[in-house]
Structure formats: structure tokens, C-alpha cells
């Protein structure tokens, strides 16, 4: 899928010359490094300081909103052996808050931060339509990048960024942090990725009271709000779980008549997506943004031939009693302050994992640490640029399927597989 980027290659700001990559601490793993205990860690009593020592990597954060300020900054504050050399936002108040909370040098533009703070790695936490341009600028200045999701707006942009990174010898990772959240990681470790071929069916669902037309700022103005911006987490997790891309998708998306009469709104308030994996195995995503009852951000059920694996993100505290279609009565207590994962066979449950407090900070920290370690060792990060591109490709196919009302093959897979194939010998 080659293509031309919508933007021109950014010209390097004169002050932000590329670093001498031969001297970056990321690549110099075998040397002795200054390990710093982060002085901000005591501000976050709910998260244990990390056990992982990194290589005195110089890190900067661009964008100090929901993701930058509430996820990356606290995650960085818990990491050992890094140097937080700068944080940048065009918003004065957000810069001031960051400077006060994290004692970090702040900048009002990226060029200045790249030139003066000289980061080796940039965390990109600005709105999605800026990601490609900023990634290119960071790569040109010699940085590795950890980019917020969704990776880019188009596949062409993703290709351009990935080609630029490869040419410059820089690495890109994505903050698809659900892969590294304890409850979802536990399910991946049991049956996902290389073992994903044992899954026969998976369901992911999200119920939220957040109609696209009620959202403010850049989110509210996105045409592809629900599945592309928020649903990328669900799509990415499914690809990680099955360890492959689906070969075809079908989708229906609608505002369900819930918008104000005559309002010109995006139509993906509810998205119902079916994904067909190899050997006729299926998955379904339901994103429901019109829920006025109890909401849940991310629920998972993945079935193999022998068990169901469940993960429920969000607080769960329930006591239930009953028969559950069995002859054996039971009393069950479910308790996970911010999420639980378990294995189910009939009415028998085995706990797999509980989420810690602040699970998104912890999972973002896991992504950052594991990505940095992968950059240093030359191995794959938890979510690579290719993973970000794959999710985007599947999402694009879903929107196309919804628009034309047909099943759409996903490129780079065996799309010749028949729809709803029933290979009883498989999986
Ligand atoms: N991984 C997750 O769970 C997660 C959660 C929230 C957001 N996100 C993603 O993070 C990104 C940012 O989302 P958000 O919710 O933090 O948005 P936000 O609007 O809260 O914050 C974005 C910040 O970027 C700043 N900004 C914009 N352009 C800039 C530029 N050129 N230079 C410097 N600063 C700039 C804005 O002033 C703002 O403070 C999006 O891609 C979003 O999808 C991911």
C-alpha cells in the first residue's frame, strides 16, 4: 500500500540538528549507565515504582492533555533510569500545570523542545491528525517515537512515517496500552498471540454514554469518531489476541436516530462489527455510545474449545448466588477494583488477574518500559508501527463495509477464504 503523504517532508528546523545516533544511550546497551530514581515517584503512592532500570534515556512529551498529562507524565514519573527532559504544549495553562506538577522544563513548540532539550525519544500525545507530521519531524531530529493511538489518519501517512523511520534507523511504538494492562495481558498470555489459533470466537463490547455529537474539541469534529478514535483499542486487542489480521469484515454503524432532529452528525454512535479470521473463526465488536444505563469501557469474552476467557475493565464488585444452568448451587464473589480477568468452564471460575489502581497509567508505563527495552535490544515493542497500521487497515475496511453494506476483504490476508467458512477440523 504505497502512497504519498498529504504533507511534505518537514524541513529540519535549523536549531534541531539530528543527534549523533551513534551516541544515544538507547543503543549503547552494554555500557554502564547512570540509573536515576525518579524524584517524582513519591507523588504517586498508588503505583509502585518500577522494577525496570532503563538506560538514562532522554524523553520528552508532546501534548499535555488527557493522554500526555494524565497517562504519560505519571507513567514516566514511576520509571527508573529515564531523564524527562521536556514537555510541550501550545496551551499556556497546560504547560504551567506540568511545570508545577512534574518540575519539568516546558516548551511552547516542538522545534524549540527538540533543539534545546535534545530528547532521544518523543512521546506524541497530540490529536490524531497531527501524528504523522509530528512523527516525521521527530524522526528527522533523530528521535525514536512512542505515538498515541490511532497511529495516523490514513494508511498512506502510516507508510510515509514507517519509511522515514526505517531510512533514519529510528524506531516507532504505539501506545496500545490495553495489550499491557494486567487483566488483558493475562488473557493474551493464556491464549493470545502465538497461541491465538486455539480461539474459536471472541466478543468485545463497550457501553458508554458518549454520543459522538456530544463531544467537544477535536474529538467532536472527527468524522470517524467511535471506531477509529476509541474503538482502535478494541480492534488492536483483537488482532493481538488472534495473532493475525482478519481476512474480511462486515459492519453496520448508525446514529440510531438518537441525534437532535436535523443535526448533521457522524453516524457511528453504535458500531456492530464482525471479523472473520482464518479457518472460519469469528469475532464481534460492539461499540455502543448511547447507553443510558450502567456503562462499561471494555469487556472481553474469548472462547477456545475448552474454556471461556473473560476480562472486564472497570470496577467489578458483585456477589451472586444461583444455579447458572447447572445442578450445583453456588455463591460467587467478584471483586476487582478496576478490572478482573478469569477463566470459565461451566460455572467454575479461575481468577487470572486483577487490575491495579490507575490501570491506564500502569499499562502505559508497561508500554513505555517494554518499548524502550525493545528499542535498545532491537526486538519488537509491545505494539509496533506495523500493528498501528494493521489496526487502521481493519478499521478502514469496517467503515467501507458499513458505507456500502457489503463484506470487505482485508488486504495482505487470505481474503479468498469463504465467508462463514466452517472448518470443523480447525482450532
Ligand atoms: N491510549 C489511550 O488510552 C488514550 C487516551 C486518551 C487519548 N489518547 C490519544 O492521545 C492523543 C491526544 O488525546 P487527548 O485526549 O490527550 O487530547 P487533548 O485534547 O486532551 O490533549 C491534546 C493536547 O495537545 C496539545 N497540542 C495540540 N497540538 C499541539 C502541537 N502542535 N504542539 C504542542 N501541543 C499541541 C493541545 O493543546 C492539548 O493540550 C489522541 O491521539 C488520542 O486518541 C489515547
Nearest CA to ligand 1 atom 8: 67
- Does ligand 1 lie within 6 Å of residue 68's CB atom? yes
Distance in Å, CA 131 to ligand 1 centroid:
10
Sign of the CA dihedral with 309 first, then 314, 318, and 322 last: negative
Q: What value does the CA radius of gyration of the chain take, rounded to a whole number of Å?
A: 22
Residue 227: closest CA among 293, 295, 275: 275
Domain covering 21-170, topology: Rossmann fold (3.40.50)
H helix runs in 173-222, sequence order: 182-191, 217-220
Closest by CA position to 58, among listed 128, 116, 126, 137: 116
Look at strands 339-345 and 348-354 and give their pairing.
antiparallel
- Going by the DSSP 8-state scheme, the letter that residue 231 receives in this structure is T
- Spatial CB neighbours of 31, under 8 Å, sequence gap ≥ 6: 25
> What are the DSSP E strand ranges found in 280-377?
282-288, 296-304, 308-313, 316-322, 330-336, 339-345, 348-354
- Compute the distance from residue 66 Cα to the ligand 1 centre, in Å: 6
Which architecture characterizes domain 179-356+391-409 according to CATH?
A: 2-Layer Sandwich (3.30)
Instruction: Return per-residue pLDDT of the chain as tens, 427 residues.
Output: 333 222 222 222 223 333 443 334 544 432 322 223 343 333 333 344 455 555 669 999 999 999 999 999 999 999 988 999 999 999 999 999 999 999 999 999 999 999 999 999 999 999 999 999 999 999 999 999 999 999 999 999 999 999 999 999 999 999 999 999 999 999 999 999 999 999 999 999 999 998 888 888 998 888 788 999 999 999 999 999 999 999 999 999 999 988 777 666 657 899 999 999 999 999 999 999 999 998 888 999 999 999 999 999 976 666 667 766 666 666 666 666 689 999 999 888 999 999 999 999 999 999 999 999 999 899 999 999 999 999 999 999 999 999 999 999 998 775 555 554 433 333 2
Q: How far is the CA of 22 from the centre of ligand 1 (A)?
A: 31
Pairing state between β 248-254 and 270-276: antiparallel
Residues facing 82 on adjacent strands = 57
Output the CA 236–ligand 1 centroid distance in Å.
Answer: 19
Contacts of 163 (CB under 8 A, 6+ apart): none
Residue 219 grid coordinates: 474529538
- Cβ 330 vs Cβ 322: under 8 Å: yes
Residue ranges of the domains in the chain?
21-170, 179-356+391-409
pLDDT of the residue at 213: 84
Pocket lining: 70 vs ligand 1, CB cutoff 6 Å? no
The confidence score (pLDDT) of residue 215 equals: 85
* Residue 425 confidence (pLDDT): 32
Q: Please state, in angstroms and rounded to a whole number, the distance separating the CA atoms of residues 102 and 111.
A: 21
Protein residue whose Cα sits closest to atom 36 of ligand 1: 63
Nearest atom within ligand 1 for CA of residue 360: 3
Predicted model pTM:
0.85
Query: Can you give the pLDDT at residue 358?
Result: 93
Q: Provide the pLDDT for residue 176.
A: 98
For helices 385-404 and 155-168, angle between their N-to-C axes, nearest 10 degrees: 170
The DSSP code for 84 is E
Q: For residue 212, how far is its CA from the centre of ligand 1 (angstroms)?
A: 17
Counted residue by residue, the chain has a size of 427
90 close to ligand 1 (CB < 6 Angstrom)? yes
Evaluate: CB of 222 within 6 angstroms of ligand 1. Answer: no
Residues 6+ apart with CB under 8 A from 112: 15, 88
Amino acid at each position: 500500500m504505497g502512497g504519498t503523504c498529504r504533507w511534505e517532508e518537514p524541513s529540519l528546523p535549523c536549531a534541531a540538528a539530528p543527534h549523533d545516533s551513534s551516541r544515544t544511550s538507547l543503543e549503547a546497551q552494554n555500557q554502564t549507565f547512570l540509573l536515576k530514581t525518579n524524584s517524582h515517584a513519591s507523588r504517586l503512592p498508588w503505583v509502585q515504582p518500577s522494577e525496570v532500570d532503563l538506560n538514562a534515556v532522554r524523553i520528552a512529551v508532546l501534548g499535555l492533555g488527557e493522554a500526555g498529562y494524565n497517562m504519560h507524565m505519571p507513567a514516566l514519573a514511576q520509571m527508573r533510569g529515564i531523564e524527562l527532559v521536556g514537555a510541550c504544549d501550545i496551551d499556556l495553562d497546560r504547560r504551567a500545570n506540568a511545570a508545577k506538577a512534574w518540575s519539568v522544563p516546558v516548551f511552547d513548540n516542538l522545534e524549540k523542545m527538540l533543539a534545546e532539550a535534545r530528547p532521544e525519544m518523543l512521546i506524541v500525545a497530540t490529536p490524531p491528525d497531527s501524528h504523522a507530521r509530528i512523527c516525521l519531524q521527530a524522526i528527522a531530529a533523530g528521535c525514536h517515537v512512542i505515538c498515541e493511538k490511532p497511529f495516523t489518519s490514513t494508511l498512506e501517512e502510516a507508510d510515509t512515517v514507517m519509511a522515514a523511520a526505517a531510512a533514519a534507523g529510528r524506531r516507532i511504538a504505539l501506545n496500545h496500552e490495553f495489550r499491557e494492562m494486567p487483566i488483558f495481558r493475562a488473557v493474551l498470555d493464556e491464549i493470545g498471540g502465538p497461541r491465538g489459533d486455539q480461539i474459536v470466537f471472541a466478543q468485545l463490547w463497550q457501553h458508554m454514554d458518549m454520543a459522538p455529537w456530544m463531544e467537544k474539541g477535536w474529538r467532536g469534529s472527527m468524522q470517524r469518531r467511535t471506531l477509529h478514535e476509541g474503538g482502535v483499542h478494541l480492534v488492536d486487542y483483537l488482532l493481538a489476541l488472534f495473532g493475525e489480521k482478519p481476512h474480511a469484515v462486515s459492519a453496520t454503524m448508525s446514529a440510531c436516530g438518537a441525534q437532535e432532529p436535523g443535526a448533521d452528525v457522524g453516524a457511528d454512535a453504535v458500531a456492530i462489527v464482525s471479523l472473520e479470521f482464518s479457518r472460519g473463526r469469528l469475532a464481534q465488536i460492539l461499540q455502543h455510545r448511547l447507553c443510558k444505563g450502567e456503562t462499561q469501557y471494555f469487556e472481553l469474552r474469548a472462547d477456545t474449545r475448552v474454556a471461556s476467557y473473560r476480562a472486564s475493565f472497570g470496577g467489578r464488585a458483585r456477589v451472586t448466588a444461583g444455579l447458572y444452568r447447572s445442578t450445583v448451587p453456588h455463591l460467587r464473589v467478584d471483586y476487582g477494583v478496576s478490572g478482573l480477568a478469569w477463566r470459565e468452564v461451566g460455572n467454575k471460575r479461575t481468577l487470572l488477574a486483577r487490575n491495579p489502581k490507575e490501570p491506564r497509567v500502569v499499562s502505559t508505563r508497561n508500554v513505555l518500559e517494554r518499548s524502550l527495552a525493545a528499542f535498545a535490544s532491537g526486538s519488537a515493542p509491545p505494539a509496533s508501527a506495523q500493528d498501528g497500521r494493521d489496526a487502521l487497515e481493519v478499521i478502514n475496511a469496517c467503515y467501507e463495509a458499513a458505507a456500502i453494506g457489503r463484506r470487505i476483504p482485508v488486504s495482505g490476508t487470505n481474503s479468498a477464504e469463504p465467508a462463514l467458512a466452517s472448518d470443523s477440523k480447525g482450532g
